[in-house]
Amino acid sequence: MPGSLEGRKAIVTGASSGIGEATVEALVREGAVVSAGARRRDRLEALAERVGTEAVHAHAVDVTDEAAARSFVEDSAAEMDGLDVLINNAGVMLLGPVTGADVEHWQRMINVNLLGLLYCTHAALPVMGEGGGGHIVNVSSVAGRTANMGSAVYNMTKFGVVAFSEALRQEVLDANIRVTCVEPGFVATELQGHNEHPMVVQMIDKMREDLGDGVLQASDIADAIVYTLSRPPHVAINEVLVRPTKQRR
């Protein structure tokens, strides 16, 4: 039986771990061909080997480099002979109070979470337009819906993704391009592990402990993404907020 995304041509950024990796697996399971991008080439190649090199093309790319992001999107579309789906998933989360923060952390979050997403989108829109339409999925966060102390700049980037997604939706609907913003709660991935601030590490550890087995898995978010992509053409799921059942905020 054909999968729900049979023949779809998709790009996934941040595909070397976590939600991006699980999304590549889910898309291929549903019949899509995927161009998987991130900086860690070895992880992408291992993913392609595991899932099938005919369905997954591995591309080492730093999405904060505008020219590299553009080439990634354009080369992927050429390689797959079209582009139906762009999943802007690459992201970093470096939390801590604003006072005394390392501004390099702010720059990394803004460069990856905002500019990387913008560069890939900018490159994908004309390709999708020429192909008669497409679907862009932007991975924001519950942190794009509620702000909390210690998360100000991450909140800023993820609120930005939500706002950008809605404005973009209005601009591209006449080109048959759907836009979806996915907002995960706490998912067990590498994301939290990049934090060093003792207060943040303690807060994350406590939250993780409280959720126990109830924490979201990357595959839960991949399932939600597949759901949005597999609706009939007249249905646009514009926003999906997925929390662990026991996550309060």
Q: Taking contact as CB under 6 A, which single stretch among the options 4-12, 164-172, 185-193, 200-208 is the one that binds ligand NAP?
A: 185-193
Q: Are 37 and 79 in contact (CB under 8 A)?
A: no
**Total chain residues near ligand NAP (CB under 6 A):** 32
In the list 83, 87, 90, 95, the residue contacting ligand NAP (rule: CB under 6 A) is 90
Binding flag, residue 16, ligand NAP (CB under 6 A): yes
Helices (H), 33-148: 41-51, 66-80, 103-109, 117-130
- Is residue 244 near ligand NAP by the rule CB under 6 A? no
Does 34 bind ligand NAP (CB under 6 A)? Our answer is no
- In degrees, rounded to 5, the angle at the alpha carbon of residue 94 between the alpha carbons of residues 15 and 167 is 65
The beta strand positions in 79-159, using DSSP E, are 85-88, 134-139
Q: How far is the CB of 209 from ligand NAP (least distance, A)?
A: 15
| Options 187, 204, 222, 224; binder of ligand NAP; rule CB under 6 A | 187
Count CB-CB contacts under 10 A for residue 147: 13
Q: Which is nearer to ligand NAP, 71 or 176 (CB)?
A: 71
138 scored as a contact of ligand NAP (CB under 6 A): no
Which one from 106, 119, 154, 164 is the annotated catalytic residue?
154
Going residue by residue from 48 to 87, which x/- string records binding to ligand NAP, judged by CB under 6 A?
Answer: -------------xxxx-----------------------
Q: 82, 91, 96, 134: which one contacts ligand NAP (CB under 6 A)?
A: 91
End-to-end CA distance of the chain: 40
Chain centre to alpha carbon of residue 4: 20
DSSP state, residue 184? E
Minimum CB distance to ligand NAP smaller for 15 or for 181: 15
Extract the tokens encoding 215: 């924490």
User: Is-catalytic flag, 154?
Assistant: yes
By CB under 6 A, residue 38 contacts ligand NAP: yes
Buried b vs exposed e over 9-39: b needs ≥16 C-beta within 10 Å? bbbbbbbbbbbbbbbbbbbbebebbbbbbbe
State the residues that interact with ligand NAP by CB under 6 A.
13-20, 38-40, 43, 61-64, 89-93, 112, 116, 139, 141, 184, 186-187, 189-191, 218
